[in-house]
Structure 1
């Protein structure tokens, strides 16, 4: 397709309108749906000086007459990166609403905090359209992605609504948020030094070097650094209170997927140790689906945890010295493993259009805690059975579940099993999670 070059500017600069058309043409067959007017409906803020396309910052350049343009080569790079993203529409991550989550104020000119922006728009859908028209276009796309076409809304108990996006899109938006944060940080550094140095031209500040976006001469976007166990053996309760820890975490790449910026410190809730900095997507993927404090549903996202990427996840969980020393998993994870792996042969099947399919949805609950192993009992059941049968499949004592896991670990990941055991570490936390009495009066304990 033809590209309209801005007069007086070389380097393949095209108008925002032409860039919009180019972006739509290049991403027409992308697995991630893109939005129309991704560049022309950018934030109405003259100070922004950039546009987010996928996970890439594309700097704008001002031409004669006040018109803005962008390098066509950068639009093509952003489109190629987006086209390479593979999206599983069934692998979803909840993005809100969450209790107590801060709202982004209307009129903020940047694209930061995309989760709050989506939730705010959905919660205020009733009166958002008139406001957007009055204020000059609040409803602009997120990094050129049409998130409304892939948003999934779920309703629980006919009252509470939750919103979900495919995991691949969440990772892409997290990467865009991180890239933008680094871009703005570099821009502020440029402004601080402008008082003592002669500023370069705007085109020089937006030049591209070796395919990597830069924000000024000699000022590249800071790359994510890999996590190499710097927080090994540290307690989350102490580390989370240290000043500047959030900024330090954001500088790491996710210790599991390695592609997205880390955003949280994943830690063992039973032993209190930090495992590693991870991104929101990986953090939600490994988090058990609690129905209650002692009851979880074994959802589909456990498949990669215990099958596809089992060795990687086991290595991640055993970053906790407590779990590694006891050769086990935290109780919710051990319960999910027991239902998904140890009790898999017991799960009934029913005839379906493509052969026999597993019955209902697995659920596992427990009484007691890992601190009272003799009284801790795991109960594996099936919910939503078509015939109303198969409520309880098996009841497994905690100690038996840990022994089954130990044997399975030896067969599945022998290198991890060899590094585990009570002789590997003797420094364990002395303060355990609180234990309260079981209200059923059966002398068992709930934590």
Structure 2
């Protein structure tokens, strides 16, 4: 029987109430994207699969009970300990790639917490100059003291910053102990974290494999959502499995379309690599633009970064209202104005492009601050742009996009 995340949490908490592990059953309440990596939540070294049912994530009651019984049986001998290998620089000297940083690694996570807490602790000292705040974490001020932590960090401060953070659905700082010479963890717990690490990595590796052709992709690159959860399909297999969108529904009112046509029958019309999950539509005019995947839908909120992506402006102009009025949705107007000011404004004779910041908006006027990184200490100035001026910039931007769009 499938049960809600709330019931799963309560069931696990009840089954493990006498467990010696510092469990965090709330990990079963999924956040956005929690199932993206491999479709499971790990509590300790036990993986619990998530199931999509009527648009909501749920768990199998049998899986939750099995996990609870397994974890409840774990005994923790606080007299049998192993060195925790913290704090240690080696995790940061490896120059790990972004992908490596996102692999399950409990040692790297604990070390990050400790050194970040050391930085944050220093910033609490009002007598420190700002330049000291941003200094290298590996400077002499962060050497390990007699208390076993970097700089002036105390264990109480570490707990205040990271005591509720979790690894493998547990709170490791609750079992971390100072022996007088090094930090230790109960052996049974450290062994469990090792098993969690291997299990999580194995699941993530399996999730890279296309279910169609068995090719291996990069982390999460080919994960696509379906009515039943995530699957892994490479662009070629997605192209074969889902129909390409030809634009035949552009200009149709979203309110009349969403109940009669399924977006997930199509390939995303923006990236053309993943299965679409929603109908993208203009919130200003109510017209459909096309089916998009969750990733592209999220990227649309990135403002100018989205506008600079190939085909993005033409996609927005798939809204009949925007195209006829030669405009873009209102939420893009200030973004276009900021980009325009960065293009035309300069600090004196400096040739460097400045950076424009959102400022106050009062009575139809945007007060925008600009700064030049080449003259950081002296170059900050403001420009006022009215709503009408921003609309004119958008119209010019759209005209340029339409004139450069490929014919047909």
Q: Specify the TM-score bucket, using the shorter chain as the normaliser.
A: 0.3 to 0.5
> Normalising by the residue count of structure 1, what TM-score does the alignment of the two structures yield?
0.41
